[in-house]
Structure formats: C-alpha cells, structure tokens
Structure 1
Amino acid sequence: MDYGFSDLLTLLGALGLFLYGMRVMSDALVELAGDRMRNVLATTTSNRFLAVLTGFSITAIIQSSSATTLMVVSFTNAGLLTLVEAIGVIMGANIGTTVTAWLISIVGFKLSMSALALPLVGLGFICTLREDRQWQQWGYFIIGFAVLFIGLQFLKESVPDVSGSPEALAALAAYTDMGFLSVLIFLALGALLTLVMQSSSAAMALTLLMSWEGWIPFDMAAAMVLGQNIGTTVTANLAALVANYQATRAARAHLIFNVLGVILALLVFYPSLNAVDWFMQHTQGVSPWVEASAVPVALSLYHTAFNVINTALLLGFVEKIAAIVCWLVPEVPEPEPEIDQPVYLTKASMAYPQTGIKALFDESLRLLQNAGYKAITHGLSVHRQDLNSGARLRDVVRNSEAVPVNIDELYHTRIKSVYGEILDFATRLQSEFALDEESVEAVRNILIADRQLVRTVKRMQPLHDNIVLFMSSGNAAIMSEYNRIRRRILKIMREIHRASESENPLRHIRKLEKYRKKASELDVLVSGRVNELLLGGEITQVMATSLINDSEQAGKIVNSLIDIATLLYYPKDRLVARLEEQRAPG
C-alpha cells in the first residue's frame, strides 16, 4: 500500500474541513437559537425528565454536546442550575449527540452530497449578504452544512484503501484478535481520538469511515464509540478547572455518568452487539458482522441504544450520583473577600446573557447585604447579629449603644468602587449581546436598585450623627422620636433579610408594600408631632430642626429600601417608571 506524507496531509485537510464545517454550522445554530435555548435551559430543568428532554433538544439542534455541557458548566457556576438539574441536562445531551451519527450515516454514506454541496455553499453565501442578522446566520448554517459533507466526501476519498493490501489488514487484525483486550484497546483509542480532536462528532465520523472502509470490524468500532463517550467529558472537565466547585461537580457528574454507562455496556458488550445484529438483519436484511457497508447504521443504532438505555437506568439515581460527586468535590469555603472588590462579575459570567444578568443580580444583592446592610444598621447604632436575632425591635433599640461608624468612608471604600464595576459590567453586557426586551428590563431594574442603595447610604450619615448625639442627650422625648425612626427602618431591613432567605420572597415584598403606606407618618412636620413636642416644651428648637430633617429623610430611606427589594425580587414596570420620574438628588 503506497501511502505517502502528502496523502496524510490530504487526510488531515479533509478532517479539518469536516471539523470546520461542523463548527460553522454549530456556531450559526447557537446564534439563531442561542438566547431562547439558554432561557429554556435556565428555566425548564426543575423536573429531571424535562431536564433530559432539554439537554437532548439543545444538543440535537446545535449538533454539539460539548457546547451544551459547557453551557451547563457555566450555568451551574452562575447558580442558574442545581447539580441535580445539570446531571439531567447532561444525560439528555448524551442522547442528543447521537443525532449527528445518524445524520452522517444516512446522508453521508447513503446519499451523495457532492453534487449539492457547492450549490448549497452558493445559496448560503447569498444569504450572508443580507443585512438581516438572522438571514446571515442561516447562510452560515447552510455553508457549514455543505462544507461538513464536502469534508466527509474528501475523507472517504483520502483514506488509504487497505482492501487490496493483505499486509495492512494483517497488521490491523493483530490488534483486533486479542479477545476482550482488543475491546479495551479500541475503547482507549476512541477516548484518545475524541480528546485530541475535541469533538465527539468528528471522532464518530472517523470511526464510521474506518468501519465503512473495512479497517476495523463492527465490535472494535463499537468499542471506539464507547471510548468516545468518555473522551467527550474532558472538555467540560477542562472548563471546570477555572470555575467554582459547583461547576466542577457538574463536570465530574458527566464523567461519572458516562464511565458508569461504559462499564455497564462492557458487561453485556457482545450480547448487545448481537441484539443490534438481529435488528439489522430483520429490518435491513444485512449483518454488520458480514457487510462493512451496514456498520455505520448499526453503529448509530448501538450508539443511540447505549445512551438511551444508560439514561433510563441511571435517571432514578441522579441524587445518588450527585451525592457521590459532592463527596468527591467538597464545598470549598471561599475566604471572605474585600467588600470593595466584585466577586461575581467575572470573565466567565460574561459568557452568556443569562449568566451575566445573574452575576449582576448576585453582585447587587451582595452589595446590599454586606456593605449596604452594615452602613444602614450601624448608621442606626444596631449590630447585624442583634437585628437578625429575632428579638423584638423595641428591645433591640432600647438595649443598643451608640455604634461609631464613618458612613462616608464606608461608601468611598466599600460601595463606590463596586457600584462602578457593576455599571461597567452592565454596559459591556449590553454592548456584547443583543439583549431582548425582558433582559434589558432586568438589567435596568438591577441598576436602578443599586442607584437607590447608593442614595440611601448617603442619606444615612447625617441621620447617624444625630442618633449618636441625641442618644447621649438625656432627653427622653427626643430619644423616643429617634428610636421610633430607628425601629421603622430596622423593620424594613429585617423583612428584606427574610426575603433574601425565603423561597417565596413575594410574600415579604407584599408585607413591605404595607409598610410603605406608613412611611409618611415618620415626617413629624406633616403629622404635626413636632408642634406638640415644642408646645409641650419637651424638645428644644435645635432638636426640632434636626428631627424635622431626619424624619423626612427617614421616610425617603424607608421608601428607597422597599423599592430596592421590589426591584431585585419582584420588579414591576410601574414601579420602575415611578422611580425614573423621581430623579431625586443624591
């Protein structure tokens, strides 16, 4: 068999053309269905059967299980998917990847695409000239589809013909006649091939071609297919190296699920191949043990049966797999970060609009619950643990002592920088992605909530100074008035904290809306309370002036805190519109 270096380069070029076509087609489909697809992935995976269906559908559409598992890792990293949900999606993705094998087996080997390929490239090119982005992506999809089969055609023509070379067949037979050891060798070869090519679809295409040309028998090709199911998990595990422990768990679950499936398949390896042979003889009239031309369809059938049966058997053990993964990858307690440095606004979170919006939400919530919480509670001379203790607020306020805090310094060192990073991240997110109306609204709500928090913190400094001043004044009347203000704001903070820990935050938001109606009662000038105190000689004019200003600011603080919670947990257009009209100076 005369097969030189140039022939090898031609083979590699054909393989590269196939991979390029696959990539162009997959990328175009991701662009076309990306946002809707990711929204489905993030919202319809709570039920394990829906999770499997979602994983299958997405992989079948975009023709890339690696892209699906990378999305799963990113979404798990961002907290959009739980570990159990992620495992269900990965199971479905394994089934979805079999569609590629059927496409190649039926269209690539049964039909000749060479006559249609170039006209399809021309049609796709015309589509890319349109200004409409969707038309352009459909054009790239058509081009990718055509190039994929051009590459497959070149592969079929450039592989060496071993049928007329007895010595080559003898060399190959030496590796296929070693009993079950041969199965393990070709299984390892399939895993290695997938690892090198970083594409299970390309590895599958090469395996189908090798069996079609008679290089390897049906059983060795099936062993390579099993190996490819292990090799395809490497991509997600590599991506998880730079992610958090949750994403690492999802990647490990993918590996464990596929390895368990391969072990089960090896236990019934030859009986399962004989079952496929029986099916092929009764439906196609040919045996993959005898006819090399029957092997591609038989392999596709075996690949599909393996993944479907594996999923059916292990779907009931998702929680067990999750428990094993949690044991293998324990939770890593992250060191307490500096508050003035963002935690969630990472490069990885910018991968998709959904993960970006989730990062903005998480960072804003962290800003509220850490620096914002400290500025407000300490500004009211109450410690966080006292507020969260569940004790009566009247007792908390009465038993507290003045807490010295420089709110202006706290704002400049721990809030301003993070707020600036949030604004920058939101700007980049909206410039890099064509967000739909709902996503734009979500980003807008988060930014308005953050702006409200900044204004609220700035209002706290003068209120804090007067609280500290009058707590030591010895005047019971003025202390009582300021304690009333403190209790009202602290009640709002406590309810916001409960909303953050609740599975049903709407219940707490409704309670906050009831408190909003009482916010106007804090203004002692509007209620006439300041006149009563002055006429009764209970406070001085200086005290009255401070109380008038502080009670008005307290009402604004209460409303702002309720707005922040509502925007983050239950946004409404009418609320956003009202906040935009206020444009209150900060």
Structure 2
Amino acid sequence: MSINDISSLFGFMGGLGMFLYGMNTMADGMQKSAGSRMSRFLGMLTNNRFLAVILGALITAIIQSSGATTVMVVGFVSAGVLNLTQAVGVIMGANIGTTITAWIVSMNQLGDAFSILQPSFSAPLFIGIGAVLLLFGNKQRAKTIGEILVGLGMLFVGLDFMSGAISPYTDAPVFSEAFRLLGRNPLLGMLIGALVTALLQSSSASVGILQTLAMNGVVTTNAAIFITLGQNIGSCVTALISSIGGSRTAKRAAVIHLSFNVMGALIFGIGSIVLFMAAPALAAHNITAVQISIFHTFFNLTNTCLLFPFAKQLVHFSGFVIPESKTGDLETAGEEAVTMKHLDERIFESPAFAVETAAMEVVHMGQITLDNVKRAMDAVLTKNEEETREVYKTEKTINNMEKMLIEYLVKINNLSLTEEQKLVVNNLFYSVNDIERVGDHAENLAEQAEYMIRHEISFSDTGASDLKIICEAAYQSFFHSIEARRKGDMEEVRKVNQCEDEVDLLEEELREKHIERLSTGECNTSSGVVFLELISNLERISDHSYNLASYVKNEI
C-alpha cells in the first residue's frame, strides 16, 4: 500500500467523520429551531392515520432523523401519550420524511440550477456564515441558524472528501466485482445495507455513503436497490434497541416499525428481481445519486400507500409477536406508572419534546395536588376523617412524583437546549418544588382537621363562613396557576394575581376578626389557634400559586 493509498484512506475516514458529525450537528440545530412546534404537531394527532402520516413526515423532515422520530414514538407509546393506531401513521410518515436527507446529498447532481449547492462551491460559505452567527450572534435563534449552517457545510465537505478519496479507484476491479456480487444476490445486498445502517444508527448516513459511491460511477442499479431496501430494514434497529426494557406496548410499536419495513422490502425486492430478470441491462447500469434519491422516496411513498389500509392488521400482528404475559402487563402497573405516565427517556432523542413532556407531567403533578388540596379543605369544613386519610395517602404520591420529576429534569438539563428551553427547565424545577410545598400545606390542613375531630373543636357560624370563603379563594388561586402552566396563558396569570391579592386581604381581615372574637369570648383558645393555623396554610398555598404563575409569566 503506497502513501497515496494511505492518504486516500485517511481522506475517506475524515470525510465520513465530517459527514456524520455535520449531519448530527444540523439535526441538533433543526430540533432546537423547531422548539415547541413539534409538540404542537403531536397535539394535533387524532385517530386520523392520514394526519399522523403527514405529521410523522414533517417531524422527521424537521429533525432530520427517522430513527429519532421512531424512538420518540416508542417512548410516547410507552408513556401512553400515543396509542398504537396513531403510532403506525407516525412511523409510516417518518419513513417518508427521512428521504429529505438523500435529496440534500444529491442536490449537487440536479443540474446547473443547483450548482450553488455543490459541496466545493457552497460548503465554505455555509461554514463561514454559520461560524459568524455562532460566535457573534446575540440571539439564540441566530446561533441556532449558525449551528444548522455549520452542520450543513460540514456534511457537504465530508461528502467532498469521501468522493475525492474514492475517485482515483473508481476503475478498480474490486468495486465492480463487489457491486456485481451484491446485485446478483439480493439477500446479501439487503444484509449489507441493514448491517451498515445498524452500525451507523442512521439510514440517512448509510444512504449518503451509497450516494457518494454512486457519484463516482461505481454502483450498479440492482445493487443500489437491494442495499437501499436493506438500509430501510436496518433503520428499525434503533427503535428495537430503544424498546428493550420498555412496556409491552413500546415493544409492539418497535415491531410495527420493523414489520412495516420488512414487508415493504420483500414486496419491492421480489418486484425488483422480476424486473432485473426481464431487463438485465438495467440491472448492470450504473446508478446516480439523484436516482437513488428518487428510488428511496418512491419506495417509502409506495410502501406507505400499499400498507396504509392495513394499519390495524399491523397492530394485531404486533400483538401476536409480543403476546401479553400470563400475569398481565406488570410493566405498566404500580403507582409509578400511574403517576409518571408521560416520562420516558427515549423522548430525549428530541430535547424540545423532552421539555414539553416534562411540562405536561408538572401539570399532571399540579392537578393531583389540586385534588388533594380540595380534599383537605373538605376534610376541614366537614370534619371528615376518611378524607384526611386520603390526603395522607396522596401526599406520599406527590412526594414520589417530586423525586422522579427532579431526576428527569436534571437529565433534560444536560441535553442540548436553547436558552429559552433552559429557562423553562429551570422554572419547572422551581414549579415542582412549589407544588410539593402546596401538597405539604394540604397535609397540614388535614392534620388540623384530624385535630378538630379528635378534640371536638368547632367554629362559630361566622368563623365557618369566613373559612369557607378563604378556602375557595386559595383553591381558585392554585387552580389558575396550574392552568397558567398548562395553557401558557397570560390571562390565567392575571387571575392568579387577583386571587392572591384577595387571599392576602382575607387572611389579614379574618385574623383580626378572629382575634376580636377570642377577646370577646365568642371563640375559645383551642379553636382560635386552629383557625389561625388554617388561614395561615391557605395563605401560603396562595403564595406558592403566585410563584407558579410568575414562572409562566417569565416565559411568555
């Protein structure tokens, strides 16, 4: 091996590294740019599979990775955010959306109109502009655009390096023999495509490498077809790995993805064998990068159209492959699964989704705490001992939720986030703490209710009426604070502020009135201490509600 051969090998390895790094950087920037729009896409999903296909394609085109989309689908199915019927549509759409990367790679061969996108022409410009935006951009959006441009430029430079390293060897017999062998043996071609994709964990990357070889005129049509079909099967490996240790439903989602691509590959593989037997000249003809993009897109569009009507059958088939255990699906049982229904680390594939999912679960924690506050207030007003026991039981759940959410948010905080997303995560940290403190105050109310029952303490009609009024005001304050987080609505924030002012005034007024009743003998000392303790806890609930609303206001 000569020094030139070693140099070419290093050039190819370096080009491959830059191509993969550029693709990853561009995808990361795309995800940051997409922000919460992807979660709004998800929120649009219904049982309309056609809409799910469109949204799956859009999300994948945005984040530049079908693997990331399908892993998120597995996570959302496991978390109960999506059902399997919705997941089928998103998975089909993801296969269509991933073809956008192949078109980006082949743009430089689309003709003179696209000459500006040729790697040797445009890559330095993209990297230069991107670097300026990254280094000197004042706003996060400018830095994110810079990240996308640098990634795109690195992708093009990597392609140029790989192409340049291969070009001196395009006449070498090893290439023609290798692709002739792969073209004659469909199973071997599919296996190679699947293995390379599984190793790279990206069908877009493996298709890009195949296109680079095609740019140098060494890939035959039949070999390219079979390898591309295998690459689509290999793209399922990421989701399959992700489903390990997940719920039965998550495993079924991964099986649906695999069966969808395998069925498509078998249909097209058999059709291609028949076609190439009828037209051997076409089979041996060299294929271009653009033609690979066309086939890749045609395959995924046609496969979706063919199997779209059989989505329910795919769901049933996944149930047959992953049968329900005799003891039931224990993975989804237990308090943890019930309370933390949306949290799944597979969603970390998209930081924007992860932040939105954490916010959903903070709202969920708030709603459980809101119910417990109401239960504690009822226990005080009606002196119901059964309600107090329920308050204590739910408080343990709230404490567990706090621990799990904090751990989840710490992991999210280590992801690649925009400044806005970091602000939201920090506010969610504080929100979880405030909600847990509200839960503590609900427990304090229940303890006072229990004390009242045990010592047969009661209030005067005026005192009981006053207590009911401030309970309602404090409850409304906390209710609107949770709604403010759920909706991201400034109107809800204003309602919290109004309720907080009302509770503060009521607490001060009722304290003075109750002290006056104590001094005139209308209330005894024991009931007076309990009354003051109750209104103090209610006022603190309103204070924490004000904090929760302030975090939302800070983000709007």
CA distance in 2, matches of 1:319, 1:421: 35
- How far has the Cα of 1:299 moved from its partner? 2.1
Match of 1:363 in 2: 365
| TM-superposition CA deviations, 1:255-282 (whole Å, max 9, x none) | 121112112212322456799x99xxxx
Q: Is the 8 A contact 1:345 1:363 kept in 2?
A: no
| CA distances 1:293-313 after superposition (whole Å, capped 9, x unpaired) | x43232222211111111112
Q: Aligned-pair distance for 1:376?
A: 7.4
- Counterpart residue number, 2:356: 354
Q: CA deviation at 1:7?
A: 3.6
Change (3 A) 1:157 1:58: same
Which deviates more from structure 2 when the two are superposed, residues 568-577 or residues 445-454? 445-454
Cross-structure match for 1:154: 161
Structure with more relative contact order (C-alpha pairs < 8 Å, separation 6 or more): 2
* 2:102–2:293 Cα contact (<8 Å) kept: yes
The one-character-per-residue Cα deviations of 1:486-532 (angstroms, maximum 9, x if unpaired) are xxxxxxxxxxxxxxxxxxxxxxxxxxxxxxxxxxxxxxxxxxxxxxx
Cα distance in 2 for partners of 1:426, 1:312 equals 40
- Return the alpha-carbon distance in structure 2 between the equivalents of residues 92 and 141 of structure 1: 23
Partner of 1:24: 25
2:355 is aligned with what amino acid? P
SS of 2:82 mapped into structure 1? coil
Residue 267 of structure 1 pairs with residue 259 of structure 2: no
Q: Offset of 1:568 from its aligned partner?
A: 5.0
Shift of 1:64: 2.1
Higher mean C-alpha displacement, 163-172 vs 196-205: 163-172
Q: Check if 1:455 corresponds to 2:433.
A: no
1:14 aligns with 2:15: yes
2:133 is aligned to: 127
Superposed, 1:269-418 pairs within 5 Å as: 269-270=272-273, 289=283, 291-292=285-286, 294-329=287-322, 330=324, 331-337=329-335, 351=351, 352-366=354-368, 403=386, 415-416=398-399, 418=401
Q: CA RMSD in A?
A: 4.4
User: What residue ranges of structure 2 are gaps of 5+ in the alignment?
Assistant: 508-535, 538-556
The letter of the residue matching 1:298 is Q
Q: 1:451 to 1:245 in 2, by over 3 A?
A: farther
* Contact map agreement 1:241 1:248 (CA 8 A) in 2: yes
CA shift for structure 1 position 228: 0.6
User: C-alpha displacement at 1:130, in angstroms?
Assistant: 1.6
Tell me if the contact between 2:381 and 2:464 (Cα under 8 Å) persists in the aligned partners: no
> 1:42–1:75: 8 Å Cα contact kept in structure 2?
no
| Cα pair 1:446 1:567 within 8 Å, conserved | no
- The corresponding residue for 1:197 is 200
Hey, what's the Cα distance between the residues in 2 that align with 1:318 and 1:114?
44
SS at match of 1:268: helix
Aligned to 1:577: 497
Q: How far apart are the structure 2 equivalents of 1:366 and 1:576?
A: 19
Q: Give the secondary-structure state (helix, strand or coil) at the position aligned to 1:235.
A: helix
1:325 partner amino acid = S
Unpaired runs of 5+ residues, structure 1, are 279-286, 383-396, 471-541
Counterpart CA distance in 2 for 1:261 and 1:41 is 26
Offset, 1:580: 3.5
SS at match of 2:138: coil
Q: How much has 1:317 moved relative to structure 2?
A: 2.1
| Aligned partner letter, 1:304 | T
What CA distance in whole angstroms lies between the structure 2 residues aligned with 1:113 and 1:6? 20
Equivalent residue number for residue 537 of structure 1:
none
Q: Tell me which residue corresponds to 2:511.
A: none
Larger radius of gyration: 1
TM-score (norm 2): 0.72
Instruction: Please state which structure has a larger fraction of its residues in helix.
Output: 2
- Are the counterparts in 2 of residues 98 and 304 from structure 1 also a CA contact under 8 Å? yes
One-letter code of the match for 1:80?
V
Check whether the contact 1:56–1:93 (CA below 8 A) recurs between aligned residues. Answer: yes
| Cα deviation digits, residues 361-413 of structure 1 (max 9, x gap) | 333445566x779867888999xxxxxxxxxxxxxx9xxxx659678976875
Q: How far does residue 67 in structure 1 lie from its aligned partner after superposition?
A: 2.6
* Distance change (3 Å), C-alpha of 1:317 and 1:434: farther
- The aligned runs of 1:485-500 (5 Å cut-off) are none
Is this contact kept in 1: 2:248–2:331, CA < 8 A?
Answer: no
Q: How much does 1:193 deviate?
A: 0.7
Moved more, 156-165 or 356-365: 156-165
CA separation of 1:548 and 1:566: change in aligned 2, threshold 3 A: same
Structure 1 SS opposite 2:69: helix
Which letter maps to 2:209?
L
Question: Where does residue 525 of structure 2 map in the other structure?
Answer: none
Summarize deviations over 1:401-459 as a string: whole Å, max 9, x none. Answer: x6596789768755456457657877997996645899799969988766555433322
Report the AA paired with residue 166 of structure 2: V
In the alignment, is residue 138 of structure 1 matched against residue 138 of structure 2? no
CA distance in 2, matches of 1:117, 1:543: 79
Cα distance in 2 for partners of 1:168, 1:349 equals 41
- Number of aligned residue pairs: 481
In the other structure, the counterpart of 1:81 is 82
- Report the CA distance shift for 1:404/1:436 in structure 2 as closer, same or farther (over 3 A): closer
Structure-2 change in CA distance of 1:404 and 1:251 (3 Å): closer
Contact 1:83–1:250 (8 Å) recurs in 2: yes
Q: Which amino acid aligns with 2:312?
A: E
Deviations 1:135-161 (A, max 9, x none): 122222222222211111111121265
Distance 1:406 1:326 in 2: 41
Q: CA separation in 2, counterparts of 1:271 and 1:166?
A: 27
Which residue identity is paired with 1:336?
G
**In 2, Cα distance between the equivalents of 1:100 and 1:90?**
17
Match of 1:523 in 2: none
Counterpart AA for 2:497? A
